Amino acid sequence: MDHNEGLIKEEKPKKPRKVPDHVILSGGLNNRYWVLEVEERPGHKTLTISCSKSLHPTETCLLKDGWEMTPVCCGDVVHMEGHSDSGAWLVDREQGFLVLLPDSLISGTSISSSIRCMRRAVLGDMFKSFDGGSKQMLNGTIVHEVFQRAATAKDFSLETLSKLADQVLQTISCLPSNSRAPSRCQDSATVVTVTELADIEENVWSPRFGLKGKIDVTARVRIQRRSHRTLEEKTVPLELKTGKESNSIEHRSQVILYTLMSLERYNPEAGFLLYLKTGNLHPVVPTHMDRRELLKLRNTLVHYIHNCVDKEKKRSRLSRLPDILTNRQTCQYCPQKINCALYERAVDGNSADVSEDVVRDFLQLETGHLTPPHLSYFSHWLLLCCLEAATMEAKNGRKRVWLRTPEESEKNGSCVGNVQLSGPVTIQSEGVFLHRFQRSSAVLQKGLANSGLASGDRIVVSDQEGRLVGLATGYLCEVSRTCVNLSKFSGVLFRLDGDEGVVGLSTHLTNLSRLMENGQDSDRLRELVVDLRPPEFISNLSSVLPREAKDTVANILKGLNKPQKQAMKKVLLSKDYTLIVGMPGTGKTTTICTLVRILHACGFSVLLTSYTHSAVDNILLKLKRFRVGFLRLGQGQKVHPDILPYTEESIRKKGVHTLSDLEQLYNKELVVATTCMGIKHPIFTRRRFDFCIVDEASQISQPICMGPLFYAKRFVLVGDHQQLPPIVQNQEARSLGMDESLFKRLELHSEAVVQLNVQYRMNRQIMSLSNSLMYEGRLECGSERAATALLTLPFLVSVQSELSSYSKTDPQHDLAWIQATLLPSNPVCFLDCSMVPALESVEQGGVSNHTEAALIHKLLSLLIKAGCKPSDIGVIAPYRLQLKSISALLQSSAFTGVEVNTVDRYQGRDKSLIVFSFVKSTAEEGNLGELLKDWRRLNVAITRAKHKLLMVGSATTLRRYAPVEKLLNHLQQENMISLKHIIPL
DNA sequence: TCTCTGCGCAGAGGA
């Protein structure tokens, strides 16, 4: 018997009985239930659910009349609509809804597109297609814009329309053929008149139904029913259509979904479809059946989106998608064609054997140009991205906007609640509004200044009660100011949440899909990236170097050291790519800047990119000084102030009126700079470059790094794989190689690699640490001056004598170790706290070590007293929580300027003096943590100091980390200082 | 066991 029971348990997919930390459950209107059990019977399904994290008490939910087909699993979160009879919910034909995974908001268009093809809707969620769209779509966008502007101005006269059209686009020939104000809808029984516009492009998030969308027009209407002889005022959604007047299920479904998602805002009973070609207004009055069927579609869609990987024997693999349609007509215009075929072959390469002829022909047509290695590269990275996306989704902070109260969110600094509009809303520029918010008087004393939100942050505006979620998004201009239009809510209390956004990995997947396309750019890149075809070089410089540029180039080269010169030469000779390894302190930025100058002088066009905005701007700031012109693409909010004049936004302000003006703006500069993610810019539909340079390349994941490479004939990757790799959150994805950058992958072709090994940052002793840890002695000092540079401490003598006298009066305290530590002539010190002891403390959200923090505080006080400038000091720790505890001790003004940051954030930067807190110190075995196991992170940490590096940690614990052990073994006796007890000062 | 930067968005029509 026991044996049997064991077997049955094994068969059922075992889901954790415990609810994970990030899941938030609740009862009430916006309830969230956890599914504990699913029992299937013919014709119905019973769920055991609970809205309490303790999973007690439980309730039941009976699904029937088609609802039993809902793909709900144990461990899912669901939302219940309808009512329960003492804990027993019923969802059937007549009543109730079940919303699966309600915190994944699905857009109205996704759902309506799933009516025709569920597979397309799922793929559409994964891959944002790149194709610029059709003429009709462009026309649609323009006409929408014109209509909405005319509606705002309440003027539909032909003159106004054509004026507005001119504003939208200078060259326009397509206007709605019927330009009268479309405000009436008549059928025999009712007359509907639009009386007022409440909003344009209203953004709606509906966590109750798991929906989101943008409503073209929200209108106030007067409904006159002949039979009742009554007048009714209503607010309703209006969906504009510029194409054929089809009144199709898709169009109507969109409207039905809009009425559902705005239920809490104004409870519309109906919505309208407005066809601009004819001016006809079609009422859409949703029935329970309509809503029921659309929510069922939503549930199926969200199920596929969330379960794109499944686990078999602890190994994840891609799940099957809904079947491919065999109706070629529907597929003809599908933008997901290639992804549809790729996915089919990626998941099951042999499926072509069993499928129908039409499908086989389709697969051949779309993917026939690809070899098995290509397909497996695609499916491998697709799996990695799906794994990573799942981890990111679980942590997705956006749902906190509706699941957490503002008070809860304020505690971790991501929110400001209880604010009111104060003062008038002003228009900043076209469609951008400036709002002022103020704490309502009840909570005024708390103030806004020290919330976690800072100017430049993206924020989401919602109402305090959670009825109007995601009303608008915008940027925080100054504390208490934002740019969104909310003038209609003058009496409402708002909350502002920091918006991390939902990035997902759609750029990764889009790039991967692009790599598989059948076309010149993709074919070439596939050959280099996937097939690893060896890069080719030409043999003679004279053929690439224009005669008139020779002198200029020679002049520029003068300032470079030998390996830097080699790098320049290699790039010029390359036909495919060059990899530049920039070891710490070897002047990567200078090298890139010089490279751009040379290429520019030769008349080559250059696409200059990096992963982060700051890295892009660092190069541009240098470039600017050499009078090399460039165009900087990207959000002004993120760009360095000194680079702002070079952005498209700023140049446009000076007057770009015609298409040729725009063309000029995009083509004028040889050098265009942006981040790797910024490649969706329209400039890339036209322009190709001679060279693409990618900085920070060893920190960028392969699918992102290849993005800009599509647009250039040759590329240069700059990085150092001995420093930090791309960050991958999902453990399995990391173990399957997601943290291998393209830089690392291509490095096997050593003929393409140039090493910059001459460094000017560290003095000899500091450099030798890194040399023994990572570079096997290859790193060299560029000058005797750099090699011997020491920290300057003008008042050291007085500090030392103070310490001596303290030692004399208190002989039990031997302070000689501090005196030794302070000496500039002792550039590397490891302060061993094993004996103190200085134990770490593990809290939720991180690890810290208060003793190390206190020690660092003392050391810095003395060093600053001895004359070290606070701005020359950097404090580094691997864990955020430790930074917090150190910063807390450095509050006094004496420390202003000391920069406390993580290893990761210090990459690419340096300071004269660096103090590194290892934090980890534990008596027990195990639980070592990942961060310090990484050789590369340690390498970064010890190569940030120019003149002096102080390390604080417990050698006995740290020896258990292989990289730290190697470091400790290298340290000479005089570098190791063992502390016996806590400092007495 | 905790390191973090990118992103505008959903929808613009066509069968």
Which among A211, A243, A247, A213 has a CA at the least distance from the CA of A102? Answer: A211
Domain boundaries, chain A: 13-100, 135-300, 307-395, 398-498, 561-759, 796-978
CATH code for the structural domain at A13-100: 2.40.50
Asked if strand B comes closer than 7 Å to A22 Cβ, the answer is no
CB proximity list for A150: less than 8 A, separation 6 or greater: A156, A160, A161, A164
Strand B proximity: list residues 69-108 of A with CB under 7 Å.
105, 107-108
The answer to whether A595 touches A693, Cβ cutoff 8 Å, is yes
pLDDT of residue A889: 93
A948 pLDDT more than 80: yes
| Three-state secondary-structure class, residue A491 | coil
More confident residue, A21 or A41: A41
Confidence of residue A5 (pLDDT cuts 50, 70, 90): very low
Q: What mean pLDDT value characterizes chain A?
A: 85
Please report, rounded to whole angstroms, the spatial distance between the CA atom of protein residue A336 and the C1' atom of nucleotide B14: 14
Tens-digit pLDDT profile for residues A49-89: 999 988 888 999 999 999 999 999 999 999 999 989 989 99
Asked if strand B comes closer than 7 Å to A680 Cβ, the answer is yes
Confidence of residue A130 (pLDDT cuts 50, 70, 90): low
CB proximity list for A474: less than 8 A, separation 6 or greater: A435, A458, A459, A461, A482, A483, A484
Asked if strand B comes closer than 7 Å to A635 Cβ, the answer is yes
| Three-state secondary-structure class, residue A456 | coil
Least confident of A276-285, A391-400, A583-592, A769-778: A391-400
Give the nucleotide nearest to A243 (CA→C1').
Answer: B13
Q: Is A969 exposed, middle or buried (0-12, 13-18, 19+ CB in 10 A)?
A: exposed
Give the nucleotide nearest to A137 (CA→C1').
Answer: B12
Q: Which residue is nearest to nucleotide B4 (CA to C1')?
A: A727
Phi, psi of A525 (to 5 degrees): -65, -35
Give the nucleotide nearest to A676 (CA→C1').
Answer: B6
A645 pLDDT more than 90: yes
- Determine the average pLDDT of the residues in A171-186: 40
Q: Distance of CA A859 to CAs A177, A758, A873, Å?
A: 77, 32, 11
Least confident of A163-167, A380-384, A966-970: A163-167
| Three-state secondary-structure class, residue A195 | strand
- Determine the average pLDDT of the residues in A786-806: 91
The answer to whether A87 touches A68, Cβ cutoff 8 Å, is no
Tens-digit pLDDT profile for residues A457-516: 788 888 888 888 888 887 777 665 554 556 666 667 888 888 877 777 889 999 999 999
Give the nucleotide nearest to A933 (CA→C1').
Answer: B3
Confidence of residue A108 (pLDDT cuts 50, 70, 90): very high
Please report, rounded to whole angstroms, the spatial distance between the CA atom of protein residue A221 and the C1' atom of nucleotide B2: 53
Tens-digit pLDDT profile for residues A234-287: 899 999 998 888 889 999 999 999 999 999 888 888 999 988 888 888 999 999
Nucleotides of chain B in contact with protein CB (under 7 A) are 1-15
Q: Distance of CA A56 to CAs A47, A48, A50, A63, Å?
A: 14, 11, 6, 21
Tens-digit pLDDT profile for residues A388-431: 998 888 877 788 888 888 888 877 777 888 887 777 777 766 66
Q: With pLDDT > 70 as the criterion, what percentage of chain A qualifies? A: 89
Least confident of A104-108, A687-691, A839-843: A839-843
- Determine the average pLDDT of the residues in A328-332: 81
Which among A436, A406, A432 has a CA at the least distance from the CA of A496? Answer: A406
Asked if strand B comes closer than 7 Å to A14 Cβ, the answer is no
Given its phi and psi angles, is residue A418 left (phi above 0), alpha (psi -120 to 50 degrees) or beta?
A: left
Please report, rounded to whole angstroms, the spatial distance between the CA atom of protein residue A398 and the C1' atom of nucleotide B3: 21
CATH code for the structural domain at A561-759: 3.40.50.300
Q: Which residue is nearest to nucleotide B7 (CA to C1')?
A: A503
Highest mean pLDDT, choosing among A168-182, A343-357, A723-737: A723-737
A923 pLDDT more than 70: no
Give the nucleotide nearest to A388 (CA→C1').
Answer: B4
Cis peptide before A182 (omega within 30 of 0): no
Confidence of residue A1 (pLDDT cuts 50, 70, 90): very low
CATH topology of domain A398-498: Elongation Factor Tu (Ef-tu); domain 3 (2.40.30)
- Beta pairing class for A712-719 and A77-81: unpaired
CA A956 to chain centre: 39
Q: What CA–CA distance (Å, rounded) separates A26 from A19? A: 13
CB proximity list for A349: less than 8 A, separation 6 or greater: A372, A375
A16 pLDDT more than 70: no
CA A417 to chain centre: 25
More confident residue, A103 or A186: A103
The answer to whether A216 touches A238, Cβ cutoff 8 Å, is yes
pLDDT of residue A690: 97
- In the chain, the amino acid numbered A899 is E
The answer to whether A628 touches A603, Cβ cutoff 8 Å, is no
A561-759 and A398-498 share a CATH fold: no
Tens-digit pLDDT profile for residues A516-560: 999 999 999 999 999 999 999 999 888 888 888 889 999 999 889
A201 pLDDT more than 80: yes
Strand B proximity: list residues 908-947 of A with CB under 7 Å.
927, 929-931
Tens-digit pLDDT profile for residues A840-855: 887 766 788 888 999 9
Give the nucleotide nearest to A680 (CA→C1').
Answer: B7
Return the CATH class of domain A796-978.
Answer: alpha beta
